[in-house]
Structure 1
């Protein structure tokens, strides 16, 4: 579904009845659509140096298969290389799916508890919160199309908290939904007396990083993480951002 008209969106605090929709939205946004991290990671794989080695070997196998004396060898070589390439892609997909499932089974399994998000404001003991964005008019009014959380439990400094689980439905990306969610979170953080908000994201979440930088977040550091896929070792980077309030 492509959304071409102006979307009327409202952001409101999370309700317990939103739980299942939020979990489904998180998996959808992380695993599907042109801006999904796994989609970007799979595109990166196409241009990895080892991929070019596989392309060369695959072409070599095809060349060998044209001659009767080396046909079997060439076909086996090409089939093996193709199988390795597809297994590599499947492993990338599986790792992202496992990451999403860990979030769904972790803090998103009980959003109210994880983010103190279902307690009245007057009884909240910390600065945590969770918000959803929903369509405000038209046939899909009330549909949840985005979410974001602020967690104070992931660090010991009471003056800062972590932005987590920012997601926007693939069909509604590029319409300012993410900005509305993050600005709502930042305003909440200011009213709670926080002096900063931090977050981490992967190199495969480029649209999210562009949003954070546009809203005033500054890159604090990058950390290299080596991920072994089959016998191939890939280096990915986690980007850590922070904004002073």
Structure 2
């Protein structure tokens, strides 16, 4: 059993890379599994499986009954003439009420009912596999995007001190000048890991603070890659910090590690002059979402990406007044109810 008092938070080092990636990827996979489970249990999915089963079963059984009718009523002949005779005989047979009744009876035979049950099972398995396969590809694409963005080189993204940037004033832009005044921006981003006092090399969890103003160019590039126009991009505020990459290894959850990590991020953000912490998460990460809301994060907006995937955007005022803190507490139940985490 891990003693909570033995847990401490320290800055990330390159030696932590493998453990941090494992912790984050396990978290990504667990969220992906929850999305698959919710998709499978969703009434639309169940209706889709049932509809496909009925249609495929009827088509196949109708084909078999039709072939049977052709075999029993075809005229003798070869070539095209024989084929035309088959279809003529079939048309005549289908026009007879007794034959139609016979066809209905064929559908009710035990052999056909067993066939229908088999097709239903196959359609169900194929549908479930397609859902799982699609979700797996989306999860892998998301992980690859994270590696391409910030997790590929955590030190460079979160711990690089300064960056020389070119800043153009309005007159320079109006005159079409491509060069502007070069200034240096300080990177206030940070990345922490939780570990044991006795085993500092063992990573229990992690969290990062992203200086979104410093990484505005990276955010713009990501915005454009998603197919959104440059005109819809909102320049990040220098007073906003984003909470990212919060994850606790499954073996060390329910020890208050996430709370310690968030408090560390909050204290650091305050010291560095940030006024607000923002975040985005999925409503499928129910445990994390409950923690965010109870820690004081308020819902900014809900964005539905697809039928089964919704993002929750929240923010936390770092210098909230006593009155604003009370309002946050009053809104907690409302936010939890909105995302289905409180009855």
Q: Name the structure where strand makes up a greater proportion of residues.
A: 1
Aligned to 2:312: 239
Task: For residues 108-155 of structure 1, give each alpha carbon's deviation from its aligned partner in whole angstroms, at most 9, with x where no partner exists.
Answer: 00111111x2659xx991321110111233xx6531011111111255
- Residues 282 and 311 in structure 2, CA contact (< 8 A), matched pair in contact too: yes
SS at match of 1:144: coil
Relative distance call for 1:39 and 1:6 in structure 2 (3 A) is: farther
* Equivalent position of 1:200 in the other structure: 280
- The answer on whether the counterparts of 2:279 and 2:315 sit within 8 Å (CA) in structure 1 is yes
SS of equivalent residue, structure 1 residue 106 = helix
Q: Which stretch of structure 1 is more off in the superposition, 141-150 or 73-82?
A: 73-82
Q: Report the Cα distance in structure 1 between the residues aligned to 2:140 and 2:273, rounded to whole angstroms.
A: 36
Superposed counterparts of 1:116-155, under 5 Å = 117=159, 119=161, 125-137=186-198, 142-152=201-211, 153-154=215-216
Gaps of 5+ in 1: 227-233
How many pairs are equivalent?
224
- For residues 67-96 of structure 1, what are the alpha-carbon distances to aligned partners after superposition, in whole Å with 9 as ceiling and x for unaligned? 113433442332122211222123223312
> Which of the residues 107, 115, 118 maps onto 2:150?
107
Query: Where does the alignment leave 5 or more consecutive residues of structure 2 unmatched?
Result: 58-106, 163-183, 217-234, 319-343
- Greater per-residue helix proportion: 2
CA RMSD of aligned residues (A): 2.7
Matched-pair contact (CA < 8 Å) for 2:53–2:120:
no
Could you state the TM-score of these two structures normalised by the residue count of structure 2?
A: 0.59
Q: Does the CA-based 8 Å contact 1:54-1:85 persist in structure 2?
A: no
Deviation string for 1:214-243 (max 9, x for gaps)? 2111111111112xxxxxxx2421100100
**TM-score normalised by length of structure 1:** 0.81
Residue 25 of structure 1 corresponds to 23
Q: Give CA deviations for 1:179-210 in whole Å, capped at 9, x if unaligned.
A: 11111011000000111110101111111111
